[in-house]
Amino acid sequence: MTDVTTSPVHTDPMLDGEHERMSHIVLEGVKVSDEEFVSAGPSVAEGIVNGTPVKALCGKVWIPGRDPKRYPLCPTCKEIAESMGWKVPAG
């Protein structure tokens, strides 16, 4: 039996002063096997280095900051991740 592994990332939005301070989950890709990784979009690390926007499960798009802090997990992201059976990062 092969398990499909997802890589949700617990990261923080760059605050724009309007948005609530929450952490969102970014799905970077799905590991299909040891050799095969299907990318779902720009990774958080890429976003930090290149200023590439990443997209959270809830649809929020932002450029990840370098200095993530602990904020409560976005309920929408959490709900989606749980409904998909993905591991939810500890918030």
Q: Specify whether the CB–CB gap between 63 and 14 falls below 8 A.
A: yes
Cα 22 to Cα 2: distance, rounded to the nearest angstrom = 33
The yes or no reply on residue 58 touching Zn ion (CB under 5 A) is yes
The yes or no reply on residue 77 touching Zn ion (CB under 5 A) is yes
Q: Which residues contact 72 (CB under 8 A, 6 or more apart)?
A: 21, 22, 23, 91
C-alpha dihedral sign at 7, 64, 59, 17: positive
Comparing CB distances to Zn ion, the nearer of 37 and 91 is: 91
Comparing CB distances to Zn ion, the nearer of 58 and 88 is: 58
CB of 54 to Zn ion, least distance (A): 11
3-state secondary structure of 6: strand
Q: Which residue is nearest to Zn ion (CB)?
A: 74
Question: What x/- string results for residues 13 through 42 when contact with Zn ion is judged by CB under 5 A?
Answer: -----------x------------------
The yes or no reply on residue 81 touching Zn ion (CB under 5 A) is no
